Amino acid sequence: MTRVWQWNRPVTVREVLEDLQQERSIAYTTVMTVMDNLHQKGWVRREAEGRAYRYTAVSTRAAYSAALMNEAWSTSDNPAAALVAFFGMMSAEQREALRDAVRVVQYDGESAADAPAEPHGEPRAEAPAEPPSAPSGEPSPEPSAPPEAEGRSAEHPRPPGR
């Protein structure tokens, strides 16, 4: 998935293989199996191109990370304690990024003038723009679970490998 997210374009097994082989020896069939498994789990879609497939990520890396965090949160016996422990592991920079993210969510839909200023008197950062919609006839790139994923919804996809 890392390669698919990094390149942010449709990729072939051969392209992923050649990139991975710069780091280590790996077989074509291994990469093909992993890509097929990701497709079967609904994390990449594929389009036939000649005798090969081009694979595209269904969700962003941020959506994947959010799904992992949501899974940890929702399966914890004590979510508040899990969050406290998680926050305790964060660096000062990570905690500041978290505060900024909470501000974005709290003031979603309000104008920047209504939102509190950043700690140094600077206006707060705006929420990232919505990703462009998929071309007509294409499924949206929003994260979603495959239909067979029990108990999962578009808001809470099952992360790859889980």
Residue 8 backbone class (left: φ over 0; alpha: ψ -120 to 50; beta: rest): left
Computed over its alpha carbons, how large is the radius of gyration of the chain? 19
How large is the average pLDDT for residues 131-156?
Answer: 38
CATH of domain 2-57: 1.10.10.10
Dump pLDDT digits (tens) for 87-108.
Answer: 899 999 999 999 999 999 888 7
Share of the chain above pLDDT 70, in %: 67
Distance of CA 30 to the CA centre of its chain: 23
Residue 38 tokens read as 């990701």
- The per-residue pLDDT for 133 is 35
Residue 132 has pLDDT above 80, yes or no: no
Residue 102 tokens read as 């909470």
> Scanning the structure block, which residue is given the tokens 């990570």?
94
- The per-residue pLDDT for 50 is 94
- CA-to-CA separations, 42 to 37, 98, 101, 145, in angstroms, rounded: 9, 29, 28, 6
Residue 27 backbone class (left: φ over 0; alpha: ψ -120 to 50; beta: rest): beta
Buried b (16+ CB within 10 A) or exposed e, 124-162: eeeeeeeeeeeeeeeeebbbbbeeeeeebeeebbbbbee
How large is the average pLDDT for residues 14-40?
Answer: 97
Closest to 141 measured CA to CA, from 69, 53, 59 = 59
Angle of helix 28-40 versus helix 13-20 axis, rounded to 10: 130
Q: How sure is the predictor about 2, in pLDDT bands with cuts at 50, 70 and 90?
A: very high
- The per-residue pLDDT for 40 is 97
Report the distance separating Cα 91 and Cα 107, nearest Å: 24
Q: How sure is the predictor about 73, in pLDDT bands with cuts at 50, 70 and 90?
A: confident
- The per-residue pLDDT for 158 is 52
> Within 13 Å and on the Cβ side, how many CA atoms surround 40?
8
- The per-residue pLDDT for 15 is 96
Dump pLDDT digits (tens) for 113-131.
Answer: 454 544 434 443 443 333 3
The mean of the pLDDT values for the chain is: 76
Share of the chain above pLDDT 90, in %: 51
**pTM of the model as a whole:** 0.54
The domain segmentation of the chain, as residue ranges, is 2-57
